[in-house]
Structure 1
Amino acid sequence: MADSLVTPLAPSVPIPTFFKPVVPPRVTMQVFLWVLVLGLSSTTSANHLHNSRDVLGGENEEPLSLICPAGFFLLGRSCYAFDDIRNSTWDDAQTYCQGLALGGKLIEMETAEEFYLITTYLRENPHQYCSTHNYWTGAQQREDSQYYEWATTRWPLLFYNWRYDEPSYPYSGNAIVLDCSDDWQWRNAQKTASGTLYKLCEAPSTEVALSSELTNQK
């Protein structure tokens, strides 16, 4: 497990000039997904989203299989895991995810494609107790500003999916949670809060030659 909850802080990454609105944009899910459909050059079949492994490789290349750590499922090229033990602060949740697998962390949706994959999966696989489930993400408030960054890269968020009345905490020390009861829109919460907050973890997949995997299974 890593000795600290977040990778050491490198010199502060300057916020790009195109990312300086007075208040973080409140993007509705409908508008965002419309822009996403226009911008994505490729899509992933919804029927393939929940596989725990995938097969890669060109026509003349040995096929590769993407393998996830135990307890994780594969979406795209990353692995994800839910945890339904609540009452975790943001720091505790980050530590928990780091302990699940090498490179583990709270989910960081750095691209529009990853956001789409995760949101689609969550909608198609609703939780039994969705009305009480909000999940921590790896997005934390950037120092004393109104902006958020992904904890491991310290790179600012390039898009938001706030609920209509968010962000609701004007002071510092916040992180973003996914609201299961409201179409997985984003809310902010104090990192020291716990209550009914759960964890959504992410870890890198591992590429394994398909022939090697089949040999190991014999």
Structure 2
Amino acid sequence: MDSTQQFWEDFYRDKDQVWSGKANPILVNEVAALTPGTALDLGCGEGGDAIWLTQQGWRVTAVDISDVALQRAAAHAAEAGVEGITWERHDLAKSFPEGRFDLVSAQFFHSPVAEDGERDKALRRAAEAVAPGGTLVVAGHAGWPTWMDEPPHKDVHFPTTAEVLEALALADGEWTVERQDLITHDFPGPEGQHGTRSDNVLRVRRSG
């Protein structure tokens, strides 16, 4: 096990549950009007998005680097009575799921231990995996919460949607940018502090 996988295994082992178990609101908003087909969930964590997508009729392949996360996600799916999700472990800097998908989702695809260029490479692979007529949705934080005076990783760069688009290197005439936006929402602190956080949203559709 290399250091990147070890980081994420420890990240999930540290708590019995890390995430809420609910689907990311940005994903729900961006795909609610799409016709269900095949979907790829990158960095699926504990499975909230994959479970929700399956409940909407999508046939989902869900990927994470952490075995702990994948085992927990599969257990959550079983508890919810959701079947048919394909769970795969990948370090996306080294391997990628096979096939093409009508929807590829990369929600909050951040890593404090990724090497330079790894995220961009994975996102380009994500775009390549979108089937003709399919959609790629990339959501990411635009910065730390406003109440956070001492961020845990001060040197982290949060890419803008323009930077993500540049990194994707999408072929001219083959893609349509359907949404490129900055969303600010209430985000209270752990001790009830008032605050907000901003997120970037990019949705692009492949021709076909």
Establish whether TM, by shorter chain, passes 0.5: no
Tell me which interval the TM-score lies in, with the shorter structure as reference length. under 0.3
Larger Rg: 1 or 2? Answer: 1
